[in-house]
Structure 1
Amino acid sequence: MDELVTARLVLHPMTVAEAERVVAGSPGGGARWAAGYPTDGDVLAARRFLRTCADTGDPGPFGNYEIRLRPDGRAIGGVGFHGPADAEGTVTIGYGLVPSARGSGYASEALRALLRLARSRGITRVKGDADHDNLASHHVMTAAGMRPAGQDERVTYFETAWTPAPTPPPARR
């Protein structure tokens, strides 16, 4: 799987070995981690990724990505899919940054790259959610092009959807 590169970031597809290091809290392998990485959310995402790999194999482009700064390669958070698309072409995303990296637009930049990837792979809808009081996360999703799509007693749901590309007509003989 290729890295996704943005103006300021590299979204590095996580490997099983890297996910195991995140769960263990030990960078190893020459990895560079910003202070506070991995967060609890990164550890939960790495565990989910490892379960998926063990149950059904590597989810390919619909796995986890470490968010790294382009200038020095330091990991500052994670972004990724909760798994492959469902039968309707829908995926769910999640993301998070270490506290020192928040407020700089990195999460929105990373999420926009993930949305472009999803669309390029034929995904028709991307969903996410955030607690009602997590206004920063609401802003991240709206800045990346997602829109509110409902709420329950705990969270506000966001989504973006695209019309599937039309199937070309069969060639004439």
Structure 2
Amino acid sequence: MEETSTDPIPTPRLLLRPLDRAGARRILAGRPGPADRWGPGYPDAGDRAGAERFLRVWAEHGEPGPFGAYEILLRADGRAIGGAGFHGPADARGRVTVGYGLVPAARGLGYAAEALRGLLEHARRHGARGVDGDTDLTNTASQRVMAAAGMRCVRQDGRLRYYAASWTAR
């Protein structure tokens, strides 16, 4: 397996496993490897878009370290139920942008907020000064996820609602 420079992110019910390039290519192809345990509906279009973004960021900036992409695995059985991660390295202000998604069968169970809380703590531990995210105005489920994870709505435009979490870097 290709090495990444970050460890998995554990949460009470989930394990966010760092994605590597080979894993991203398997997601894009829709073909699991021998060690992959994909839940029903995984990967979906959002997972494929995340894998594509991950490969693009890697090509442009190199190995992303702690601010890469992660597969969301159920700790109970190791099945992949979605993806979460950072859209790239921290910007000049020290902020990173997050995204996440779950297969339909895993929605509504608190997994997305749990995964996002794990990402927020991970970003803080690795020196980010804050985390940003956005969602369509009509996506109230995602808005609830960001609020439950501790992000606050900072603005909206005609299409999106923008959320942020900030802290003093360690």
TM-score band by shorter chain is over 0.9
The equivalent residue for 1:168 is none
Provide the rounded CA distance (Å) in 2 between the counterparts of 1:160 and 1:72: 31
Distance of 1:56 and 1:29 partners within structure 2: 29
Q: In structure 1, what is the equivalent of residue 3 of structure 2?
A: none
Tell me which of 5, 8, 20 is aligned to 1:3. 8
- Residue of structure 1 in register with 2:44 after alignment: 39
Equivalent residue for 1:58, pick from 63, 67, 77: 63
- Classify the secondary structure of the residue corresponding to 1:72: coil
- In the aligned structure 2, how far is the partner of 1:87 from the partner of 1:29? 40
Task: Please give the alpha-carbon distance, in whole angstroms, between the structure 1 residues aligned to 2:34 and 2:72.
Answer: 17
The alpha carbon displacement at 1:55 in A equals: 2.2
- Aligned-pair distance for 1:24? 0.5
Q: Using the alignment, how far apart are the partners of 1:29 and 1:148 within structure 2? A: 41
CA–CA distance in 2 between the matches of 1:33 and 1:42? 12
Identical aligned residues as a percent: 58
Which one of 18, 26, 49 corresponds to residue 13 of structure 1? Answer: 18
TM-score scaled to structure 2, two decimals? Answer: 0.95
Aligned Cα root-mean-square deviation (Å): 0.8
Segments of structure 2 that go 5 or more residues without pairing to the other structure are: 1-5
Is 1:147 the equivalent of 2:160? no
Q: Deviations over 1:32-59 (max 9, x none)?
A: 1111111111101100111122222110
Q: CA deviation at 1:29?
A: 3.0
The aligned amino acid for 1:80 is: G
Moved over 4 A (4+): none
Residue in 2 aligned with 1:101? Answer: 106
Query: Larger Rg: 1 or 2?
Result: 1
Partner letter of residue 52 of structure 1?
Answer: V
Instruction: Judge which range, 46-55 or 60-69, deviates more.
Output: 46-55
**SS at structure 2 position matched to 1:68:** strand
Give the Cα–Cα distance (whole angstroms) in 1 for the partners of residues 155 and 44 of structure 2. 27
- Say whether 1:77 aligns with 2:79: no
TM-score (norm 1): 0.93
Instruction: Tell me if 1:162 matches 2:163.
Output: no
Report the number of matched residues.
165
| 1:74-127: CA deviation from partner (whole Å, max 9, x where unpaired) | 000000000000111010000000000000000000000000011111111110
CA distance in structure 1 between the partners assigned to 2:77 and 2:169 by the alignment? 38
1: CA distance, partners of 2:47 / 2:139: 17
